């Protein structure tokens, strides 16, 4: 089994290679205060941007982690519930979370 810090994305996915603006997925989870599997869910729902470093290790961009942290710190309870609903429905749709738009 490959260690977590050495895993890379599938060749089928096109992810940017960045070195200075990259965080490993475990480090992103620590900075956000969430479990590692939630990082994968946030990537799948489009809230974190996947990236690889020059060694080909899977991670996310620092800017997407900072944006997620800012959103989590400032979002209202209502916004968090609506996002959860939107992500849950979108996650199970074949075309992805972009299809569902919730407005009040």
Two structure tokens written together for 100: 């569902």
**Residue 51 and residue 8 in contact, taking contact as beta carbons nearer than 8 Å:** no
Average pLDDT over all residues of the chain: 79
Return the pLDDT at 1. Answer: 52
The angle formed by the CA atoms of residues 78, 25 and 57, to the nearest 5 degrees, is 145
65-68: long-range pairs with CB below 8 Å, 24+: 65/23, 65/28, 65/31, 65/32, 68/32, 68/42
Beta strand residue intervals within 29-97, DSSP E = 50-52, 58-61
Is this structure's pTM higher than 0.85? no
Write the pLDDT tens digit of every residue in 51-75: 888 887 888 999 999 999 999 999 9
What is residue 21's predicted lDDT score, i.e. its pLDDT? 85
State pLDDT tens for residues 1-34: 555 554 555 444 566 567 678 899 999 999 999 9
Per-residue model confidence (pLDDT) at position 3: 56
CA 35 to chain centre: 12
pLDDT of 98 above 70: no
Q: What is the token pair recorded at 73?
A: 């710190």
CB-based contact 23:32 (threshold 8 Å): no
pLDDT, average across residues 83-99: 70
């Amino acid at each position: 089994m490959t260690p977590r810090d050495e895993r890379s994305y599938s060749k089928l996915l096109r992810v940017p290679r960045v070195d200075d603006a990259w965080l490993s997925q475990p480090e992103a989870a620590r900075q956000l205060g969430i479990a590692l599997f939630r990082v994968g869910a946030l990537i799948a729902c489009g809230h974190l941007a996947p990236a690889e470093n020059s060694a080909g290790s899977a991670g996310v961009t620092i800017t997407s982690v900072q944006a997620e942290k800012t959103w989590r710190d400032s979002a209202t309870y209502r916004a968090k519930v609506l996002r959860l609903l939107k992500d849950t429905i979108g996650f199970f749709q074949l075309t992805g979370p972009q299809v569902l738009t919730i407005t009040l």
